[in-house]
A and B are shown apart, each in its own frame.
Chain A
Amino acid sequence: MSPRAQVYILAALLALMGAGLTIYKNQELGFPLLPGEYRTVWTIEAKVRFTAEGGPVKASLTLPRAQRNMEVLGETFSSSGYGFNIVRDDNEYRAVWSRRSATGNQSLFYQLDVHQTPGAPLEQPLELSTEVETPFLGAREQEAVRQAIYSLVGSARERSADTKTFTGQLLTALNDPRNQDRNLIFGYYKDRTLVDVALLVLAAADIPAHRIRGLYLEDDRRRLDPEDLLEVYDGRRWVVFEPNTGNPGVPKNFFIWQRGGKSLLDVEGGRNSRVTFSVISNDVPARDVAMLSTSNEKEALVDFSIYSLPIEQQSIFKLILLVPVGALVVVLLRVFVGLRTSGTFMPVLLAIAFIETRLFTGLAIFVLILVLGLWVRFYLSRLNLLLVARIAAVVVTVVILMGAISVVSYKLGIEQALTVTFFPMIILAWTIERMSIVWEEDGPYEVVVQAGGSLLVAVLAWWVMTNRFVEHWTFNFPELLLVLLGFILIVGNYTGYRLGELMRFRQLVR
């Protein structure tokens, strides 16, 4: 295979790999492609209150199971003086607070952050019992109620084809205040809720069903009581119904706390126990959400990446990851334009310094140091020093100049100039040395051309490197470096003319 073909294949592989990883990270892990994307994160707080009776206290609260379209980003528990642990029992997680003795009003908190993701809310095969406990309706005083229930069941069955439509019909009837049977039932079960009654009727009709407790996620809601949904087994799968409208399916912003199962809260050693919820939404940068959700899952792509480093090193890498972008700018300008610079990648180092110093301060400092350095260097060249000693002397001079610039500008109140320390000293010294040789050999014009070329490349590189999109992509999708590498390989194969050559050879055409 010819080297050229190898380059194209390698470049294509690299680009595919980089692009694939990027798409995976964006689609699956939720890393945002564009900077400044925000996601809504809901903070749900459950507050358990009860009055302790002075003896040992134990309170247990059912915790939400992982719901497929809600990603739990983090949870916190707070309760001073209480022992706390999480126990797993019967497919359910329960938070248990305990204390040897407590009196008076007690408040316990459980808080979690969730983030809504697209997808179906519930997993299908659910290991919930499909047994139906037929309610006892044989007592004499229940005769009327029993009649009413069976009449409801009968009419709903008549107007339906399967369990799903049956439940829909039943809920419509139970919500209709003109329905006599319904009024009779609610009159008998005065303290029961709609879902309680619906469960009773469904049991009478021999249909497995249970309740779902949860919350509607709406911003800034306080002291909410949990809301109920109805889940019905239609012989093959479980179907959720919203009881008030009779619509199947989980409402869009419903957060499921408990599915089936038993009580939400159990308190031993206390009374007047109650759990209320409050919901707040906040907008969080999309990247942070992705970071939090992947850190739970230990995603290898994220866990073995720059993100796993301490924050301080991450910010250094933020800069390092920009270097390839600067190198690309240099490659493009040299291969396609043909700009002459002093030192191939020196402009990239300058550009990095400019990022820290801000452009105009950086330019001013660089030109100042270069001019002063050249001046000193011209004197040094008259002293007949050996090369290494002379360059070392220039390094020392550069350091002294940097110190002097810092101190003088600080005293003058120009604090911007303090960033002078970000300039790479050795590189500056070499640049001065090389420039002075160019001056001696090719004259000051060539010095201006080369220094100008370097500065132009540095400014362009700075401009690209400080672009917020470039910054975002290099740091959040380091995989894109593979694409960049592939691109550089292809550019390295370019054998066409440079822009400068179109001018240089113009006489040949005429």
Chain B
Amino acid sequence: MGRFDFSQFVAKLRGGFVSPFALRRLGVLGMNARNVHYIARYNDRDLYPIVDDKLNTKHAARRHGIQVPELIAAFESQPSRRRVLEVIDPLWQFVIKPARGSGGKGILVVVGREGDTYLKPSGAAVTREDVLRHVSNIHSGLYSLGGKPDRVMIEALVDFDPVFDKYSFEGVPDIRVIVFRGFPVMAMLRCSTHSSDGKANLHQGAVGVGIDLATGKSCHAVQRGLRISRHPDTEMPFGELVVPGWRDLLRLASRCYEMTGLGYLGCDIVLDRKRGPLLLEANARPGLAIQVANGVGLRTRLKHVEAMDLEQLEKSVEERVSYSMQEFAAARTLEQAASA
């Protein structure tokens, strides 16, 4: 053991941090600023139930003609054993979700079945009893905020578009789009990895891939805060990744603004093989990891939208998407950064 060198220790500690002024210059949005300037100002509290409860989201989406994964059944109150079995018995593939779960907690995905045992995507077997227990757990509020009793949703498993198959390990990637006052401002693809245990949470080791709003191509990829160019498990280069039907996807995200009324919104979207983009859920408090995935700060783009006049804000979905694709293109952002 060498002697403890204090100055070296301080230098190392400082190396881990960056100056707040540098972050401000880059237009990085911090958690406090997000809460005060965007969530508190643009998201009305009384609109939260639409996004906090996935069943409400589903109903609202249906009213607005937004595509969502098919709902098979929903249990408002503690369902009887027979009722649950009645619903899941004819199914081969399904997803059980809490309506008010947060952070992807409490989602049970069944991709196959052998008699009375169900298979999870990881290949692990789940018994019928486990499924029943899961339903009861959701119902008693184990996964909801504050432990309030929750509703149980049974959804059809999305028939995922195979384009991302090679970019994901075990789990299915979803696309997060931040929509500010109806304008898509930033997007990322979340790919699960072996080290994230099939989960799409960036802080658990999933890869965040920044998507260029103009083209739907990947522009930046990050795992655990470090820039990477290939998927760590499948070795696929991210440079070749293109999201098919990108404009449709942005249109869907943009329409969520009218659907929810929330000014600052995160939309989680998945691609179905046949139906195209589907809204998985909407989030009134989207996280900030998207900035890391894109390598770009959100604040500059949010300010750009904030500076618009009323006429610009009343544009149609189509116009907004076109505007965003042009204004928030990765090439343009780089240009601005270079000139700044």
A binding-site residues for B, Cβ under 8 Å: 335, 338, 384, 386-388, 437, 441-443, 493-499, 501-509
Q: Could you write out 29 A-B pairs with CB less than 8 Å apart? A: A335-B32, A338-B31, A384-B129, A386-B140, A387-B141, A388-B140, A437-B105, A437-B143, A442-B204, A494-B32, A495-B33, A497-B20, A498-B30, A498-B32, A499-B17, A501-B23, A501-B30, A503-B17, A505-B28, A505-B291, A505-B292, A506-B16, A507-B222, A507-B225, A507-B227, A508-B296, A509-B19, A509-B23, A509-B26
B297 CB-CB contact with A under 8 Å:
yes
B273 CB-CB contact with A under 8 Å:
no
Inter-chain CA distance A502–B31, complex, in Å, is 11
> Cβ of A386 and Cβ of B30 under 8 Å apart?
no
In this complex, what residue of B is CB-closest to A495?
B33
Q: Which residues of B contact A505 (CB under 8 A)?
A: 18, 23, 28, 291-292
Q: Which residues of A contact B142 (CB under 8 A)?
A: 387, 437
In this complex, what residue of B is CB-closest to A388?
B140
Residue count of chain B within 8 Å CB distance of chain A: 38
B137 CB-CB contact with A under 8 Å:
yes
Cβ proximity bits B224-241 to A, threshold 8 Å, 1 near / 0 not: 011100000000000000
CB distance from A250 to the nearest CB of B (A): 62
CB distance from B96 to the nearest CB of A (A): 15
> Cβ of B133 and Cβ of A508 under 8 Å apart?
no
> Cβ of A501 and Cβ of B140 under 8 Å apart?
no
> Cβ of B137 and Cβ of A387 under 8 Å apart?
yes
Return the contact of A384 from the options B17, B19, B133 (Cβ within 8 A).
B133
Query: Do A495 and B32 form a contact, CB below 8 Å, given A386-B136, A387-B147?
Result: yes
Main secondary structure of the interface of A (DSSP, over half): helix
Q: Which residues of B contact A494 (CB under 8 A)?
A: 32
Which residues of B1-58 have CB atoms within 8 Å of chain A's CB atoms? 16-20, 22-24, 26, 28, 30-33, 36-37
> Cβ of B225 and Cβ of A504 under 8 Å apart?
yes
CB distance from A146 to the nearest CB of B (A): 92
Query: Do A506 and B18 form a contact, CB below 8 Å, given A386-B136, A387-B137, A501-B30?
Result: yes
CB distance from A457 to the nearest CB of B (A): 17
CB distance from A501 to the nearest CB of B (A): 5
> Cβ of A496 and Cβ of B291 under 8 Å apart?
no
B295 CB-CB contact with A under 8 Å:
yes
> Cβ of B140 and Cβ of A496 under 8 Å apart?
no
Return the contact of B32 from the options A497, A503, A506 (Cβ within 8 A).
A497
CB distance from B294 to the nearest CB of A (A): 9
User: What are the nearest 4 A-B pairs in CB distance?
Assistant: A387-B140, A495-B33, A497-B30, A502-B17
B binding-site residues for A, Cβ under 8 Å: 16-20, 22-24, 26, 28, 30-33, 36-37, 105, 129, 133, 136-137, 140-143, 147, 197, 204, 222, 225-227, 288, 291-292, 295-297
16 more A-B residue pairs beyond the given contacts A502-B17, A505-B28, with a C-beta to C-beta distance below 8 A: A386-B136, A386-B140, A493-B36, A495-B30, A495-B36, A497-B20, A497-B28, A497-B32, A501-B23, A501-B31, A503-B17, A504-B292, A508-B28, A508-B297, A509-B18, A509-B19
Inter-chain CA distance A387–B136, complex, in Å, is 8
CB distance from A438 to the nearest CB of B (A): 10
> Cβ of A495 and Cβ of B37 under 8 Å apart?
yes
CB distance from A254 to the nearest CB of B (A): 61
Inter-chain CA distance A338–B295, complex, in Å, is 21
Query: Do A507 and B30 form a contact, CB below 8 Å, given A496-B20, A501-B23, A502-B23?
Result: no
> Cβ of A502 and Cβ of B36 under 8 Å apart?
no
Inter-chain CA distance A509–B225, complex, in Å, is 12
Q: Which residues of A contact B133 (CB under 8 A)?
A: 384
In this complex, what residue of B is CB-closest to A442?
B204
> Cβ of A507 and Cβ of B37 under 8 Å apart?
no
CB distance from A11 to the nearest CB of B (A): 15
Inter-chain CA distance A388–B140, complex, in Å, is 8
Inter-chain CA distance A508–B31, complex, in Å, is 16
Q: Which residues of B contact A443 (CB under 8 A)?
A: 197, 204
Inter-chain CA distance A497–B29, complex, in Å, is 8
Which of B141, B204, B222: most chain A Cβ within 10 A?
B204
CB distance from B312 to the nearest CB of A (A): 24
Q: Which residues of B contact A499 (CB under 8 A)?
A: 17
Inter-chain CA distance A501–B297, complex, in Å, is 13
Query: Do A507 and B32 form a contact, CB below 8 Å, given A384-B133, A387-B147?
Result: no
In this complex, what residue of B is CB-closest to A382?
B133
Q: Which residues of A contact B295 (CB under 8 A)?
A: 507-508
CB distance from A386 to the nearest CB of B (A): 6
> Cβ of A497 and Cβ of B140 under 8 Å apart?
no
Q: Which residues of A contact B33 (CB under 8 A)?
A: 495-497
Inter-chain CA distance A502–B22, complex, in Å, is 10
Q: Which residues of B contact A495 (CB under 8 A)?
A: 30, 32-33, 36-37
Inter-chain CA distance A101–B164, complex, in Å, is 114
